[in-house]
Amino acid sequence: MRTSKWHFILYFIFICTPVTLARVEVSATRPNIIVLLCDDLGYGDLSCYGHPVIQTPNLDRLARQGLRLTACYSAAPVCSPSRVGLLTGRSPNRAGVYDWIPPGGRQQANLRDLVHMQKDETTIPMVLSQSGYQTCLVGKWHCNSRFNSPAQPQPDQAGFDHWFATQNNAGPSHKNPKNFVRNGEPAGPLTGFSAGLIVQEAIQWLGQRDAKQPFYLQVCFHEPHEPVASPPALVKKYLPKATNEDQAQYFANVENVDQAVGRLLAFLSSQDLREHTLIVFTSDNGPETLKRYGGANRSYGSPGALKGMKLWTSEAGFRVPGILNWPGTIEPGLVSDKVVSSLDLLPTFCALSDASLPKRTLDGTDISGFLKGQPLSRPKPLLWCYYNSLNEHAVAMRSGDWKILATLQVDGQRLDKITNVHSSNQATIRNAVLGDFELYHVKADLSETNNVA
């Protein structure tokens, strides 16, 4: 009986989801907002989430002085759709992004070279700009295939006044990257490591903006996604506790992000901005599997006690670290197991900034009351449909304390892996049915070991 009920709920939702440094003078009632987004950071990769070796003192302090989430979810188990979901507050499937986006230029049969966040999507910086916010993106973009080209929307068309970004990874690695673009102009070869470079850009922008207006800053770290490269001093620090140099590189990579966050926090404090600023820290998805592909030899991320890894619809694919910090508003020292998603950011930021919600279906929930100590309830469950999952179950849903997974089947056979939905396969996907259900009381069964379906 329980399985039938969950089958109906999941099927209904699935069918309905288409595919000069001036000090601040803004009012505390409309906070500045900063989103710090890591790339492939595992649920267990921070010391405040239990990592036995990696030291992250700045993020640990941010958590101690704010709210640490133990049931924080990304919009997808892989980068591009996760970022699109965060920006729009909608399932990335609605926005036409189903998997990571390769760079355009080489025609692909599945039209993957044409994928981008759709032009009619409304994003966080768009709605905040309309409410008087200044907006900035630094770091990884990864919401289109034809980066810095008039063929597809770029960060400025998504609402960012200033942007300093790459299409996907920092290249050739995090060290001395050459592929950054600043407001449409190539930045050329840079000296330093990506985490520090983007925080430096953010600080420069903060110092030059109009201090009388609030701001939205999105800091998208490339770390700890491959190709991993870390400061030698940090690598040396971890060598005694690592199994090899590659693992030391990964550990150092995460701490390098922490140090960059520390520099940003110190700047905010020096400008009396901390109490007026809501900071959200999270990851786009779970950790990469070591040596899953040729360049993943330094992917030593930890899923903690969770099942799976990046690209899975099991918990480790999209259950990620989540820290919320807003001095004077969020009570310090809190740890919550309430379900929160990156999809919640847009409606929450709209509520906090007096911005109007987009006139379209949103999948996130306004959690602004929760930040102020009020109870949190979700009117609809969280749903993921990732057609290229490494595990067999392409569909997953979290509702309350429960999580259900299902495969997609056509004519009694599991649907083949799909990296993009287009005219040639859309009908097949629409006709797929759900099967092979697994049901977990995931609040208690964190590792998804006891299937009660």
CA 114/CA 102 separation, integer angstroms: 9
142 is catalytic: yes
CA 8/CA 2 separation, integer angstroms: 10
Identify which of 2, 19, 27 has the alpha carbon closest to the alpha carbon of residue 275: 27
Positive or negative torsion for Cα 411, 15, 73, 124 = positive
DSSP secondary structure letter of residue 271: T
Helix (H, G, I), strand (E, B) or coil at 386: coil
79 is catalytic: yes
Q: Which amino acid is at 241?
A: K
Identify which of 378, 110, 56, 444 has the alpha carbon closest to the alpha carbon of residue 221: 56
Q: Which two tokens stand for residue 370?
A: 């929760």
Identify which of 432, 361, 420 has the alpha carbon closest to the alpha carbon of residue 17: 361
Identify which of 127, 135, 119, 137 has the alpha carbon closest to the alpha carbon of residue 37: 137
**Of the residues 51, 142, 174, 222, which is catalytic?**
142
* Cβ atoms 227, 172 nearer than 8 A: yes
**DSSP H or E stretch at residue 240:** none
**Of the residues 79, 136, 143, 350, which is catalytic?**
79
Q: Which two tokens stand for residue 70?
A: 């133990």
Q: Which residues are catalytic?
A: 79, 142
